[in-house]
Amino acid sequence: MTEKKTERLDTILKDMRSFVVAFSGGVDSSYLAYHAKMLPNLKFIAVTLRTPFIPKREINEAIEFAKKHEIDHHIIDLQFPEVIRGNPVDRCYLCKKMLFDKIIEFAGKNDFNYVADGTNSDDTTSFRPGLKALKELQIRSPLAESGLTKEDIRTLSRRADLPLWSKPAMACLLTRIPFETEISEGTLKMIEAAEDFLFEKGYPGTRVRVHSDLARIECLPGFLEKIVNDPQKELIISNLKKIGFRYISLDLEGYKTGSFNPQL
């Protein structure tokens, strides 16, 4: 089944011929860039946007991946966009539109015909307001167009011996803050520092959701019991308090995609 989908992906990319890949360093966009690199006679470049709400570890992983696989890579630095300072419910739509406008501008200046992103076919069935912006801007989504699911992409990445095949999904830091809440760069740094610390302690994919001065930790399946019984639990608590949180809580439901989304 995946063979037919990858054949469709090959056809789509060859037809596009010249394009920019919006490259976050996640599993999907990394596989897209890797696969494009394997095809001959394509003119493409991976572009990463560096903003205050994208974890630095994600940017660094994107840089390392592109370098290892000899993928042309460009980074665009952006300040925090004031249009989403209040974290409105349509934040993802507004943000995607602003970010991809920058990539479209880059593509135009450098004679690329299309801009492509890593949206997969599963993404089209979930609450993702940003997809509306991508459609309006005529962004291509080759993985979704070819019918590749997240599971397909992980399988293909594993076959290609890409270590990130099992990498947990990673959304931007803005998703850790309730809608209609003023966002500060200081809060984003606190979230990033807390998650980095938890990752280093053996809790990959952990989310630290923020409610004023309370940190609500969401763990991936299998980690809830571990963190409750962790001998270093007090160290975790003290470090998160040093970062700036007054209260530290553990969400008994664990990690939930888009737990701040309106329907939830």
Would you say residue 202 has pLDDT above 80?
yes
Q: Is the pLDDT of residue 263 over 70?
A: no
pLDDT of residue 170: 82
Tokens of 46: 């991976």
Mean pLDDT of 120-133: 80
Query: Which residues pair with residue 115 across a beta bridge?
Result: 20
Count the helices and strands in the chain (H runs, E runs): 10, 7
Strands (E), 105-171: 114-116
Cβ–Cβ under 8 Å, residues 217 and 250: yes
Residue 88 CB partners (closer than 8 Å, separation 6+): 94, 179, 180
pLDDT over 70 at 231, yes or no? yes
Token pair recorded at residue 97: 């539109």
**Predicted confidence (pLDDT) per residue in 162-180, tens digit:** 999 998 888 899 999 999 9
In this predicted structure, which of 12-21, 87-96, 183-192, 255-264 has the lowest mean pLDDT? 255-264
Percent of the chain with pLDDT over 70: 96
112 pLDDT more than 50:
yes
Q: 2-166 has which fold?
A: Rossmann fold (3.40.50)
The pLDDT of 202-224, averaged and rounded, is 94
Quickly state the pLDDT bin for 261 (edges 50, 70, 90).
low
Is 24 a residue whose pLDDT tops 50?
yes
Domain ranges of the chain: 2-166, 173-250
Predicted confidence (pLDDT) per residue in 82-98, tens digit: 999 999 999 999 999 99
Compute the residue count for the chain.
264
62 Cβ contact list (under 8 Å, min separation 6): 23, 24, 25, 30, 46, 48, 73
> Residue 126: what pLDDT?
63
Task: Please enumerate in sequence order all residues whose Cβ is within 8 A of that of 112, keeping only pairs 6 or more positions apart, or say none.
Answer: 18, 19, 20, 43, 44, 45
Rounded to an integer, the average pLDDT of 152-158 is 96
Q: Which residues contact 52 (CB under 8 A, 6 or more apart)?
A: 79, 80, 185, 188
Q: What pTM was estimated for this model as a whole?
A: 0.91
Q: Which residues contact 173 (CB under 8 A, 6 or more apart)?
A: 53, 54, 55, 188, 191, 192
pLDDT of residue 2: 87
Judge whether 76 and 47 are in contact, CB under 8 Å: yes
pLDDT in tens, 35-85: 999 999 999 999 999 999 999 999 999 999 999 999 999 999 999 999 999
Question: Given this model, what pLDDT does residue 50 score?
Answer: 96
